[in-house]
Amino acid sequence: MSTTRIDARFAECAALGRPALVTFVTAGDPDLATGQAILDGLPAAGADLIELGMPFSDPMADGPAIQMAGHRALAAGQTLNNTLEMVKAFRAKDDKTPIILMGYYNPIYIFGPEAFVSAAKSAGVDGLIIVDLPAEEDDELCLPALAAGLNFIRLTTPTTDDKRLPTVLKNSSGFVYYVSMNGITGGAIKSRAAVGDAVKRIKSHTDLPVAVGFGIKTAEDAAEIGRDADGVVVGTALINAIAETLENDKATAGTVEAVHALVRSLADGVKRARS
């Protein structure tokens, strides 16, 4: 696979001596227009890479905040096609910032894996994180995605031991997403030293950048985790920033800015991670 936007962005951040800020938002939350405005403004606020969640009615790894975001988006009419259209609209204005679609396999299976890979590539998607598709099923989606030039990013967790890691990493590309805790999104990191040790262990198995997610909520968290990680992933805190501005689950005048203000703060955090 040739150099992708994801490869290039991690290299740029490494050259600047800091981790990348990876932001997660749910597509179409709380509605399509507001979700598009949030997405479009993330790079200017300081996001280096964007994970765009594909709303799904039966998530497994998402905590209550992201589950509610998915429900709001689905209730507002969000579909997988709409999510791809959001990426197209974003890409018409921004040809540099990587976008990774994150979600579950069921909607892709219904869409058709080959058709989905083609549509995602055409829309301007750079990579996929599919939470519930194990490495043993790479023929389903991973290998077709790689063949099309999309990165396929794997999750690793505290329970992914040295025996399991080579299997997980075999067809991984772009970066490795280390889930900092067992459980669901929205929890608190119990030991930042343990996270740092885990990042070093994973990096002993791969040359890919390692980004850490789950439990990072503030600029201080981002600065601390970013001392060891190549990227820090923030999702629940951004979803909460949306939720706190809503009235009857509808966007208000402060919704978009609340997210972008938090991203600006987090961007300041990653900039001082290694200073």
What gap in Å lies between CA 124 and CA 146, rounded to an integer?
A: 15
Residues paired with 155 in a beta bridge: 177
Looking up tokens 């800091």, which residue turns up?
18
- Two tokens, residue 92: 């018409």
Looking up tokens 């998915």, which residue turns up?
70
Q: How many CB atoms lie within 10 A of CB 266?
A: 29
Cβ atoms of 194 and 212 closer than 8 Å: no
Kindly name the residue from 7, 29, 62, 221 that is annotated as catalytic.
62
What gap in Å lies between CA 242 and CA 119, rounded to an integer?
A: 28
Residues paired with 154 in a beta bridge: 176
Helix (H, G, I), strand (E, B) or coil at 232: strand
Q: What stretch of H or E contains 254?
A: none
Instruction: Please confirm, yes or no, whether 85 is among the known catalytic residues.
Output: no
Cβ atoms of 226 and 12 closer than 8 Å: no
Measured at the CA of 130, the angle between CA 4 and CA 87, to 5 degrees, comes to 55
Instruction: Please confirm, yes or no, whether 197 is among the known catalytic residues.
Output: no
Q: Please compute, for residue 75, the number of CA atoms within 13 A of its CA located in the half-sphere on the CB side.
A: 11
Tally of residues, the chain: 275
Kindly name the residue from 29, 51, 221, 230 that is annotated as catalytic.
51
Calculate Rg over the CA atoms of the chain.
17
Cβ atoms of 229 and 211 closer than 8 Å: yes
Which of the residues are catalytic? 51, 62
